[in-house]
Chain A
Amino acid sequence: MRHGRYPFIASFLALPVVLYLILVIYPTLRTFYLSMTLWRGFDVAPVWVGWDNYTTLFDDDRFWKAITHHAQLLVALPLVTIAIALFFAFLLNVGGGSSGGIRRGVWGSKFYRVVFFLPQVLAIVIVGVMFQTVYRSDNTGLINGIITAFGMDHIAVLVNRHTALWAIMFVAVWQAVGFYVVLFSAAMANIPAEIYEAAELDGATRISLFFRVTLPLLWDTLQVAWVYLGIAAFDFFALVNVLAQDGGYGGPDGATTNLGVELYYAFSKSKLGYASAIGVVLFFLTLTFAALTLRVTRRDTVEY
């Protein structure tokens, strides 16, 4: 390596590193510090209280409710989203059989691709507000308008504590599927056609094509999708804030709350130390999840 090359590289790296330190590392460390203090966000120095914020937090029923909901979402959200997205992506790309040696999607797949992706271009809050109308509990709501027209009783999915969380999760899935369809489509396009051809010559059905060829060759992409969706399960604030009962505070009765909601609430009450403690817990949960997922799902990449 030629002399003087390191200073040259370093000069390029310096600015991003400084920005990273100021905008990411410093605020993170500062949050750790604040989580050990009582601070209301004014020009008064934070007061050190040690682990007090954490003991209060761990004694709070709502905190454990929030954790439970994260766990439920962590399993359900990626599973459902990826399953649906994979199914659609398969149909759009290889589900239509082959002609002239080229695999193609089902009829109209280009149109469907746009339709699936559409929710993705909407801001999450707009999606939430839209689903307020879908779920609204009187017959001006989309669902209730239809079912009451058939003489059925109103259903109020957001009011019922057993269905509220899943109703909100459905919105998240609805919004996310389009993105993962595109992601998986791109990955599928990279799979060489010869492999399919060979498999088909050997008499593989579409189902075994999917499980024996497509899925294994998409493993890297799936892994990324799983981490993204897992993080989305931890960052589930916006939809709950817009859709949940109790004016967005994770209602009914805390049945849809999560750490983001609790954090926001503490923050808005000037309990910045407590809010920071929630933030720190969230930080470690997300980090642990990402690290675990990447480790557990590690496999040798197939070269082709």
Chain B
Amino acid sequence: MTVSPEGSSDLSRRLVLRRAAAAGLLASPAAGLLAACGEDKPAGDGSGGAKSDKNPFGMAEDSTTEIVIFDGGYGQKYATDGLTPNFKTAWPKATVKHTATQDITALLQPRFQGGNPPEFVNNSGTKSMDFGALVADGQLADLTDFWNAASVDDPSKKLKDVVLPGTVEAGSFNGKPYVLYYVSTAFGIWYSGKLFKDNGWSAPKSWDEFLALCEKVKAKGIIPYAYAGANAAYYQYRVILAHAAKVGGESVLKDVDNLKAGAWKADAVVKAAEAWGSLVGKGFMDRSHEGLKHTEVQLQQNQYKVAMYPSGDWLEGEQAKTTPPDFEYQMMAIPGLSSSDKLGAAAVQTAAGEGYFVTAKSKNKAGGLEYMRQMLSKASARKFTEITEAHAVTVVSGAAEGYAFPPGAKSSQAAVKAAGKDVIGNFMFDGWYQDLDKECRAATNELMFGRINAAAWADRVQKKADAIAADKSITKYNR
């Protein structure tokens, strides 16, 4: 469950890397050995203060905590103007040393190698570090006690109880929590409220309505549907799989993740692939998009050349600079396929993203943990939503309630609310088995741009899945 925006950079690599990280953890038999090596160097945990509900990690009140923030899609202002002032209010004598960068690896790899990492890190962006590798070598603080510590707003509640369900698991490796994924993301198909209103179109609920709409959009000389083939084919396979989950229920995704025999050839998956693969033949997609990057296609949408585009809810913030003022981003759920779908037409996929961790070997680990605890207060989470350009919603339950969101964020939240219990969880196979992700991307471009049909697409991906299942050298995961 790890997805988040990139700002203007490429989402794909980061996502893949982070998920591959999880795979790396178990893939190497020497990992445990290495982790053990790491232990023989005792590091101060920075505790100098007495432990209490107010100070569960016993941070010394006058200590210094160094934080490193990824200066990307969410910027760094949320830290300097939001999180850190709130931390300072709680701990007036403490010092926060703030660093922001777009190249986390270049800044931190030498620090880790030298054994003096900063306390608190927002590990994100195309040049983020590999979470799995960090975990495998014992570089990250185990957050088990953290999640059981008292929350800032209500000491009778544990931290794990003030965040959305699934948050702890999203940042867990082999069952142990190491990473806080702070941002809650919803996925759907995005369109311009203005374009739709001007033409009297409305968001389609069923596949027939969707095709009818595409026909109308095409008649207007606008490309009905697009995604970026050059670097973002996985935006589209997410659509196909979420659609398949709607058709066949969430177990479809579970089977895919668990490498179950024939999971990709399940009726629901093939039907979904067939539906989406039919668009290009009907002239509802433009072949040139296969060679374009996500930013280029998103720009075309802002120019009203493309009507519908699949993405997560970071899109509105990512495009802020090129969006016309009256564009009015809106998100719709992926339309249902037929009346026999297992999930309702309103079903929406969500995930948690944007990773933060506390380092295990820093001087003031307690300070890092305390900083992380403070960012889970409602006030801090609210600041994050207010200050970030995407007005991103955090995993802190209810922190953003009543906030006047921009139209896109408002509509994506409305979509999640409308989905009710039909919220589709994230799939994990792309992080667990990187080769499968690669194969699925390649096959999806082949399918969507009309070179193979749905059956051949399913065959191709299934073949890879079977090969991975049979390969003893690859560690398997289950969920």
Query: Could you tell me which A residues sit within 8 Å of B by CB distance?
Result: 38, 40-45, 47, 49, 135-139, 144, 154, 156, 158-159, 245-249, 251-253, 268-271
Contact = CB atoms under 8 A, between A and B. Distances in A.
Given A43-B114, A44-B38, A246-B231, A253 B442 contact: yes
Interface string B112-143: 11110000000000010110111011110000
18 contacts: A42-B133, A43-B112, A44-B34, A47-B30, A136-B291, A137-B288, A137-B289, A138-B300, A156-B287, A158-B230, A158-B291, A245-B229, A246-B441, A249-B13, A269-B17, A269-B21, A270-B24, A270-B132
B137 A154 contact: no
B105 interface: yes
Given A43-B361, A44-B38, A135-B291, A252 B30 contact: no
A41 B10 CA distance: 24
B292 interface: yes
What is the size category of the interface that chain B forms with chain A? Answer: 35 or more
A137 B292 contact: yes
B109 interface: yes
Which of B12, B233, B361, B442 has the most CB atoms of chain A within a 10 A radius of its CB?
Answer: B442
Contacts of B38: 42-44
Contacts of B292: 136-138
A247 B442 contact: no
A270 B291 contact: no
A247 B115 contact: no
Contacts of B30: 38, 47, 49
A8 to B, nearest CB: 40
A144 B288 contact: yes
A156 B291 contact: yes
A154 B17 contact: no
B318 interface: no
B322 interface: no
A246 B114 CA distance: 34
Interface of B: 10, 12-13, 17, 20-21, 24, 28, 30, 33-35, 37-38, 41, 105, 109, 112-115, 127, 129-130, 132-134, 136-139, 229-231, 233, 286-293, 296, 300, 361, 438, 441-442, 445
B10 A42 contact: no
Given A44-B34, A47-B34, A269 B291 contact: no
Given A38-B34, A43-B112, A269 B136 contact: no
A43 B127 contact: no
B137 A156 contact: no
Main SS of chain B's interface residues?
helix
A43 B293 CA distance: 37
Given A40-B137, A136-B296, A269-B17, A156 B288 contact: yes
Nearest to A158: B291
A187 B472 CA distance: 59
A247 B12 contact: yes
A132 to B, nearest CB: 8
- 5 closest A-B pairs by beta carbon, nearest first, are A137-B291, A270-B133, A247-B231, A138-B288, A270-B130
Question: Which residue, A47, A136, A138, A248, has most C-beta atoms of chain B within 10 A?
Answer: A138
A245 B294 CA distance: 12
A49 B109 CA distance: 22
Given A38-B28, A251-B442, 19 more contacts: A40-B133, A40-B137, A41-B109, A42-B134, A44-B35, A44-B137, A136-B292, A136-B296, A139-B288, A144-B288, A156-B291, A159-B229, A246-B441, A249-B13, A253-B442, A268-B17, A269-B21, A270-B130, A271-B24
Contacts of B115: 43
A154 B285 CA distance: 14
Contacts of A247: 10, 12-13, 230-231, 293
B288 A154 contact: yes
A275 to B, nearest CB: 12
A268 B105 contact: yes
A245 B441 CA distance: 11
Contacts of B33: 47
A41 B17 contact: no
A268 B16 CA distance: 11
Given A40-B136, A42-B137, A47-B33, A269 B113 contact: no
A159 B291 contact: yes
B150 to A, nearest CB: 32
A251 B446 CA distance: 13
A271 B293 CA distance: 27
Contacts of B300: 138
Contacts of A248: 231
A49 B31 CA distance: 12
B40 to A, nearest CB: 10
A249 B200 CA distance: 42
Nearest to A247: B231
A144 B296 CA distance: 15
Nearest to A48: B30
A173 B17 CA distance: 33
Which residue of B127, B361, B445 has the most chain A CB atoms within 10 A of its CB atom?
B445
Contacts of B41: 43
A41 B12 contact: no
Instruction: Output the residue of A40, A136, A144 with the most chain B CB within 10 A.
Output: A40
A154 B33 CA distance: 55
